[in-house]
Each structure stands twice: as structure tokens, then as C-alpha cells.
Structure 1
Amino acid sequence: MKNHTINYAQIPMQSVGPFKLTGDLITDNLMVPMATYETPLWPSVARGARTTAHAGGIRVTLIDERMTRSILLQADHAGEALRCMRALKAQQPDMQSIVNQTSRFAKLIDTHFQIIGNLIYLRFEFTTGDASGHNMVTQAADTLFPWILQQFPTLSYVSISGNFCTDKKVSAVNGILGRGKNVVCETIISAKLCQRFLKTTPQALVDLHIKKDLIGSIVSGGLRTANAHVANMLLGFYLATGQDAANIVEGSQAINHAEVTPEGHLYFSTTLPNLIVGTVGNGKGLDFVQQNLEQLGCNDPQAKPGDNARRLACIAGATALCGELSLLAAQTNPGELMSAHLKLERSHRD
């Protein structure tokens, strides 16, 4: 077997901000690293960060967290499948004992199943500490599988993954049942600040949000998504912090909400129900990743298990909101988006 040298690609990276966050994470003057080839993304996110900081910051709320793996089994018929799943549901403490053999951080918190014909799609849901948890939950499921077959000999193995997880694919189930971190980010910006920093009005931005994010997503057949370009911010953030970049597939199923308050201010939020991040595991040992995690305050060895990853998720969500806010504001003004791209991208090439 030949040894292959690993070459690390150089992606342009820059820190943007400063960010001011409140709520579940209180921090100020935070600079956020983003790695991207789309260089106009940096000043755009920075504009959103600057605007929200002047407005009092972004309130971040962590709603839920879990990582999932679904296994696929087969029974003789649907009745037998249902009998086995009902019996299994009562054995969660026994299953946790099996999981404990694989990791001290993996905790089984729930199970869900779907029966299709004689097939059983069994979805395990775990908390995984500071890891995003892909491998952790797969190892736990791989250990649970033979135990389940021993308890229910009428069942048989089909696959360690049955796509009911759902991993790196667009789906409805992740938004409904949860996968990764569920983060809500909110800000309130006065009409004066909207005009000063975003060159728009609260009403213009809300109108565009309705017609673009909401109706446009319906027209396109979007699935549990109503945003402008969340994938852009997530990819830049993921690459800079050593995340599995393919998780932007489900991570970008985000939903914006905007309204004009009775005082005439702009209320704007971005909800990311499938935000998959971690501060330990593959990719985190690289020097630049370690430096970026330390810069974000997400590499604290004294933190309780899971706290570093929760902080990282809140910052990722806030970064997405800033990019959403800035792009939508730009698109309320004819020609602004394209002129910014031409100016910034040509200057970088020159």
C-alpha cells in the first residue's frame, strides 16, 4: 500500500466583526473567522455585525441539541415490527448501558421509528458533548445493533444507516425532530440605524423577506427553508473552524422571520434548527483551527462538556444572521449587490 502525502489547500480566510451577542451567550467585540473564495462575503457579514452591535447586539438562544443515527432492520411483517418497537421503547435504560461501553459522552435521549412494509427505520438520538458526534453515534448504533437482534431474534440486519438520520441530505425530519444544535438568533434595529448602516428601511426589508424568502421559497419548492444564502456563511465558518463542510446541506435549512415593530423598528431573526458543529474530533487538530477556536473562546479546557460546542453553535448562528441581514438589505436597492461584487472581487483579483 502506497503512502499518500496529505496536501492542505489554502483558502482565503479573514476575521470579521466585531460581534456583540446577548442571551445564552454574552460577548462583545468578537471577531469571527471565515474561510471563503467569495470575498464580498467578509464585508457583507461585517456590515451585519456592525449594524447589530450598534443596535444592542444579537440575542442567541439554544433551543435543543442532539445527534442522530438511524438503523434499518427487517421483520417478517409489519405487525411483528410494531410489537418489537413497542417492546424496545421500554428498554431505553438497558440501551444506555450498551452505549456507555462506547463513549462516556454519548447519552441516548430518545428513539423514533417508522415502519414501511416489513422494514423498520429506527432513529437513535444522542447528546455528544463537544463533538459534532457523527462517529460517536454511529459507533453507539453499531454496538446497539447486535444487542437488539439478540433481544428480538425475529428481526434481521439491513443497514447501519437507513437515511432516517438524516445525514447530509435535505429532509423535513431533522427540522421536526432535531439534529445538531437548534439555534435562534434575533435582533431589533431602529429605522435610523437601518438607514445609516443598511441603506434601507424596516418596511422595505420586511416586504422583500416576504416576497423573496417566503413566497420565493414556496415557488421554488424549498423544504423547511426560507433564507437568502445561509449556506454561504456556514461554509465560511465551517471551513475556518474545522467542521465537516458537507453538513451545510441540512444546516442551511434555515428560516428567517422579519417584522416591523409597533415602534417602527426592524425585528429580524434567523432560526437554524439543524446546525451541526463541534470543537473536538476530526479537523480540530490543525493549527489554524485551534487558533480560530481559541479566538472564539471555544477551546476552553475548563469548560463543562458540551459548553464549547454550544458557544460555537451560537456564534455560527449569529454569523448567518449578519450575512442574511446585509444581503437582504442590499437587494432592496437596485444594482447594489452586483456593484459590490464587481468592486470587491475585481479588486482582489487585481
Structure 2
Amino acid sequence: GCSRYAQLIGIRHEITANLLFIRFEFSTGDASGHNMATLASDALLGHLLKTIPGISYGSISGNYCTDKKATAINGILGRGKNVVTELLIPQQVVTDVLHTTAAKVVELNIRKNLLGTLLAGGIRSANAHYANMLLGFYLATGQDAANIVEGSQGVTMAEDRDGDLYFSCTLPNLIVGTVGNGKGLGFVETNLTRLGCRADGEPGTNARRLAVIAAATVLCGELSLLAAQTNPGELMRAHLQLERDHTTAKVGA
């Protein structure tokens, strides 16, 4: 009775000593669902306290959710939308546009994203910079930008298919919505409309579309960076050139 859109779809729990941790899972329509899920959880918690003898209140959140933190449980179960993106890039495009080869990207992905992240102690994650793209996308579309913490968990894969490059990014924790807090700003409304996320349809359709576009944005940025890093000095040259142009434009203005 606390929401027209929140639906309880799963319950998971852990018991440690005399403490019970519960993770409620909801579908939340086109909303990202932070407040919706908290309100529903509050109602469920009240019901449990009234009907089950011997238990007492601990907290509305026990960090088993897990909100705005990189955890193994989010990587395993997902939080928000789970999106897999993939594309196959012809060899000529890899050579002429990305200035690299499929073999070089595959080797770099193994050494950097897989082994490098393993050595660093990454949590169910193997990517170069998902957070960069997500932050810009979240700010432009009125999302809770702090959710890029768990959103940046994900796995990049690359395969050399006879010179063509298969490239994929999997993001299990995309928390995005097209309604709710942060969506009333003019530029946000404009951006969501331009992205086709204001269409009529079943609840959740626009949010799913937005999640797919966000994941595609991540894939493009991830591919660009890895391709650049297969060539010594290219990443720094690009930074210096763009920063110098930006500075000149500001001075000239």
C-alpha cells in the first residue's frame, strides 16, 4: 500500500551471531527506486516486528543492500539493471579508426583489466574506467551520482576473431531511472527526451532503455581508452592536446 509501482520480487538473508540481515529485492518501474525501496522496506520491517516474537529493531539499512559501495554481493546478485553490451568491429575499422589491432587490445585487456585488477584486489570487477562515463551520464540524466561506486563494477572482455575485434562490457549494477528525484530539471528533461526515454509504455520501459544507453556509452569509452593505451604516449598526447585547446578557448573568449 506504500507505492503503486514497487513490487517485492525476492528476499535474501544472512545470519551472523544473533543478528539477522535481510535484503529485500523490488521492481520499481521507471524510478531508480531509492526512496521507494526504503519506504517499502520500512513497512515490511514494521510488519515483521509486529508479527514475529523475539526480534527487535536494528536499522532500516544494515549495509547488506548494498548502496553506494563496491561489494561482492552486488556483483553476484546485481543491483538495479544488469546490462551486457557487445559488438564486433571489422579489422579495417580497428586499424584505420582505432589505430590498433584486435590482438593488442586482447593482450592489454588480459594484462591490465584482468590481471592488474586481480593484483590490486578488485571486487568482482575488471575494467579500465567505467566510472568516468557513468559519472557524466548520471549527471546529464538526473541520477544519483554516488551510485557510480557500485555502477563501476563490471567486466570488459575482448576477443581476436581473425583480426576482427569482439568487445563486450557487462555492468550488473546500473541504478538509473527516468522519473523521481532529480528529473525535474530542464536540461535533464531535454536529455531524457532526446534519448527517447519519455515514450509511453509499460512501467519500467523507459528506465530499461536508459540503462542500455548508459551501458553503450560505457562500452564506447572503454574501447577508446584501451585502443589508445595499446600505443605508447597516445593517451597523454590526447590529454595534453584537449587541455591545451580548452585553455586556449577560454583565454580567447
TM-score range for the pair, normalised by the shorter chain length: over 0.9
Q: 1:152 aligns with which of 52, 76, 90?
A: 52
Match of 1:127 in 2: 27
Amino acid at match of 1:265: D
- 1:224 paired to 2:124: yes
For residues 132 and 117 of structure 2, what CA distance do their matches in structure 1 show?
A: 17
- 1:297 paired to 2:196: yes
Aligned with 2:167: secondary structure?
strand
Match of 2:215 in 1: 317
**How far is the alpha carbon of 1:254 from its aligned partner?**
1.2
Amino acid at match of 1:103: S
**How far is the alpha carbon of 1:264 from its aligned partner?**
2.7
Q: 1:234 aligns with which of 134, 149, 164?
A: 134
Q: What TM-score comes out, normalization by structure 2 length?
A: 0.97
Amino acid at match of 1:278: G
Matches within 5 A, 1:1-350: 101-261=1-161, 263-300=162-199, 302-350=200-248
Deviations 1:36-60 (A, max 9, x none): xxxxxxxxxxxxxxxxxxxxxxxxx
For residues 15 and 133 of structure 2, what CA distance do their matches in structure 1 show?
A: 37
**How far is the alpha carbon of 1:175 from its aligned partner?**
1.4
For residues 147 and 110 of structure 2, what CA distance do their matches in structure 1 show?
A: 27
Q: What TM-score comes out, normalization by structure 1 length?
A: 0.70
Aligned with 2:179: secondary structure?
coil
For residues 125 and 279 of structure 1, what CA distance do their matches in structure 2 show?
A: 19
Runs of 4 or more, structure 1, over 3 Å off, are: none
Is the contact between residue 101 and residue 163 of structure 2 (CA under 8 Å) also seen in structure 1? no
Match of 1:33 in 2: none
Q: Report the RMSD for the aligned CA atoms in angstroms.
A: 0.7
For residues 247 and 70 of structure 2, what CA distance do their matches in structure 1 show?
A: 35
Higher helix proportion, which one? Answer: 2
Aligned with 1:289: secondary structure?
helix
Match of 1:37 in 2: none
Query: Aligned residue pairs: how many?
Result: 248
